[in-house]
């Protein structure tokens, strides 16, 4: 299971790792609640940060499973960084609420509302194609279907297509030219071989 941490952003340097935030270079502002995931690449590790509102339902599920007790209550002190946030009781309350309800509060969630569910991967749906592109693709598919419907069903039903005489001539010419350029196989083998002499 991934290692998670919650904390208050101490500065304005980290960029949120959510796809949309990353593309727009949205930084985590000082004093904001942030969610961190431990990432290891080639034996080196570091924290990767997200806005609290960019946390997916799948990450909430993993964190919730890690802190759940046998009696179905939660030990919030097991969340890395939670006990260090005593100066921010309102942020601790947000974390507790998210663990109990299984989702980020709707007013804090940065993704599509239908993706704010426990266990949901991602916080937004995939980008949809613009309507104009879809219409063009549909028209092309219809044309292809019409062509397929008009085409003969088997090779036997097809009549041979006549080849224009100009094509026949150019084919003969190119064959003659290629024959002139290529060396004859007999001329290559008829060369006398050199004898090796010992010094």
Residue 152 has pLDDT above 70, yes or no: no
Q: Looking at residue 60, what is its pLDDT? A: 94
Higher pLDDT, 1 or 38: 38
Residue 179 has pLDDT above 60, yes or no: no
9: three-class secondary structure by DSSP: coil
Tell me what the pLDDT averaged over the chain comes to. 80
Query: For helices 57-67 and 89-101, what crossing angle results, to 10°?
Result: 100
Q: Looking at residue 175, what is its pLDDT? A: 58
Higher pLDDT, 194 or 169: 194
Residue 147 has pLDDT above 70, yes or no: no
CATH 3.10.450.230 fits 4-115, yes or no: no
Enumerate residues 6+ apart whose C-beta is below 8 A from 83: 77
Q: Looking at residue 134, what is its pLDDT? A: 66
């Amino acid at each position: 299971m991934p290692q998670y941490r919650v904390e208050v952003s101490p500065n304005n340097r980290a960029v949120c790792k959510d796809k949309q935030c990353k593309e727009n270079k949205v930084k985590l502002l000082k004093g904001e609640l942030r969610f961190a995931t431990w990432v290891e690449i080639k034996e080196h590790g570091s924290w990767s940060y997200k806005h609290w509102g960019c946390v997916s339902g799948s990450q909430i599920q993993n964190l919730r499973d890690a802190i759940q007790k046998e009696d179905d209550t939660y030990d919030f002190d097991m969340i890395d960084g939670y006990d260090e946030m005593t100066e921010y009781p309102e942020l601790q309350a947000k974390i507790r609420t998210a663990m109990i309800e299984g989702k980020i509060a709707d007013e804090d969630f940065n993704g599509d509302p239908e993706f704010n569910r426990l266990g949901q991967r991602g916080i937004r749906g995939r980008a949809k194609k613009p309507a104009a592109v879809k219409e063009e693709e549909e028209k092309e598919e219809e044309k292809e279907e019409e062509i397929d419907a008009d085409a003969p069903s088997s090779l036997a039903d097809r009549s041979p297509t006549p080849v224009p005489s100009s094509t026949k001539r150019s084919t003969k010419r190119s064959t003659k030219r290629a024959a002139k350029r290529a060396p004859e196989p007999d001329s290559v083998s008829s060369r006398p071989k050199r004898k090796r002499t010992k010094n």
